[in-house]
Copies of this chain bind each other. A is one copy, B any other.
Amino acid sequence: MKETIQLHKDQYIEELKDFLRIPSISSVNDYKEEVQKGAKWLEGALKKIGMENIEIIQTEGHPIVYADWLHAEGKPTVLIYGHYDVQPAEPLDLWETPPFEPVVRANKIYARGATDDKGQVFIHIKALEAIMEKDGKLPVNVKFCIEGEEEIASRNLPPFIDQNQEKLAADAVLVSDTSFIDENQPAICTSLRGALALEMNVKTANTDLHSGQYGGGVPNAVHSIVQLLDSMHHENGKVAIDGFYEGVPTPTAELREEVAQIPFDPEKTKKELDMSELFGEEGFTFQERTGIRPTLEINGVAGGFAEEGMKTIVPKEAVAKISCRLVGEQSPVKVYEYIQKHVEKHKPVGAQVDIKQLIKADPVSLDSQDPMIQKAADAYEDVYGIRPLFPKEGGSIPIVEVFARVLNAPVVLMGFGLPSENLHAPNEHFHLDNFTKGIETVCEYLYSL
> A residues touching B (Cβ–Cβ < 8 Å)?
25, 27-29, 87-88, 90-91, 94, 151-152, 179, 193, 195, 197, 199, 204-220, 222-223, 225-227, 229-230, 233, 237, 273-281, 286, 289-290, 293-295, 297-315, 318-321, 323, 325, 348-350, 352, 358-359, 393-396, 419, 422-426
Q: Is the Cβ of A425 less than 8 Å from the Cβ of B207?
A: yes
Q: Do A28 and B218 form a contact, CB below 8 Å, given A290-B213, A323-B211?
A: no
Q: Do A422 and B207 form a contact, CB below 8 Å, given A215-B325, A325-B216?
A: yes
Contact of A88 (CB < 8 Å), options: B151, B305, B315 = B305
CA distance A215 to B275 in the complex (A): 14
Q: Is the Cβ of B295 less than 8 Å from the Cβ of A299?
A: no
17 sampled A-B residue pairs with Cβ under 8 A = A25-B309, A204-B275, A206-B273, A210-B395, A216-B293, A217-B279, A218-B275, A220-B297, A222-B320, A276-B352, A297-B314, A300-B311, A301-B301, A310-B321, A311-B321, A311-B424, A312-B359
- Chain B residues with CB under 8 Å of A304's CB are 298-301, 321
Q: Is the Cβ of A277 less than 8 Å from the Cβ of B318?
A: no
Q: Is the Cβ of B298 less than 8 Å from the Cβ of A220?
A: yes
Task: Determine how many copies of this chain the complex contains.
Answer: 2
- Chain B residues with CB under 8 Å of A222's CB are 229, 298-301, 320
Contact of A290 (CB < 8 Å), options: B217, B300, B323 = B217
Which 7 residue pairs spanning A and B have beta carbons closest together? Answer: A212-B395, A27-B309, A300-B304, A216-B295, A302-B306, A300-B306, A230-B230
Q: Is the Cβ of A152 less than 8 Å from the Cβ of B310?
A: yes
Q: Do A312 and B424 form a contact, CB below 8 Å, given A212-B193, A301-B301, A306-B321?
A: yes
- Chain B residues with CB under 8 Å of A302's CB are 301-303, 306
CA distance A230 to B348 in the complex (A): 12
Q: Is the Cβ of A424 less than 8 Å from the Cβ of B208?
A: yes
- Chain B residues with CB under 8 Å of A321's CB are 304-306, 310-311
Q: Do A424 and B299 form a contact, CB below 8 Å, given A193-B212, A321-B306?
A: no
The closest CB in chain B to the CB of A395 belongs to B212
Minimum distance in angstroms from A90 CB to a CB of chain B: 7
- Chain B residues with CB under 8 Å of A359's CB are 310, 312
Q: Do A211 and B299 form a contact, CB below 8 Å, given A230-B227, A280-B216?
A: yes
Contact of A273 (CB < 8 Å), options: B29, B209, B212 = B209
Q: Is the Cβ of B205 less than 8 Å from the Cβ of A274?
A: yes
Minimum distance in angstroms from A138 CB to a CB of chain B: 33
CA distance A280 to B307 in the complex (A): 26
5 more A-B contacts (CB under 8 A) besides A27-B309, A211-B299, A211-B424? Answer: A88-B307, A212-B396, A297-B314, A298-B304, A299-B313
CA distance A425 to B311 in the complex (A): 9
Q: Which of A217, A299, A349 has the most CB of B within 10 A?
A: A217
